[in-house]
Amino acid sequence: MFETLYKTFLETTDPSTEYSHLVSFNVLFSIFINVILYTVAYFLLTRLFNLPKKFFLFVTGLVVIMILGFIGRLARVKSIYNALLEETDKATAREKSMNVIRNAYFTWYFLS
C-alpha cells in the first residue's frame, strides 16, 4: 500500500505527467486512503474534545480539497518546470522542478 502511495506521489510531482493521469486508480486510491485516515483522526478528535460532529461536511470538503490539491500540485510543478526551461535544458529543468516540489510537499501530514 505505501509503495503505491509513494509511486503516486512521484508520478504526480513529475512535470511530464499529463493531467489525464490524475484520473487513475492510484490517485483515487490515494484519495480514498487519505480520506479514511483523516476521518478517523477527525472522529477521534471530536470524541476526545466533545466537538460537534459534521462528518458529511468534513468528508465532502476533504475530497474536494484533495482533488484540487492534486491538480494544483501538478500545475505548480509544471509552472516551475516552464520557468526553469528559460534558464536551462529540459532534463535539468525537470530534475530541479521535481526536487523543489517534492521537498515542499513531502511532509508528515501529506501522505499522498
**Cell representation of residue 6:** 509513494
Check whether 79 has a pLDDT greater than 60: yes
Q: Supply the DSSP string of 7-25, one letter for each residue.
A: HHHHHTT-TTS-GGGGSSH
pLDDT band at 109 (very low <50, low <70, confident <90, very high): low
Predicted confidence at residue 106, as pLDDT, reads 73
Tell me what the pLDDT averaged over the chain comes to: 92
Query: How far is 62 from 23, CA to CA, in rounded Å?
Result: 17
The HSE-up count of residue 52 (CA atoms within 13 Å, CB side) is: 4
Is the C-alpha dihedral spanning 2, 62, 103, 87 positive or negative? positive
List the domain boundaries for the chain. 2-13+22-105
Write down the pTM of the prediction: 0.87
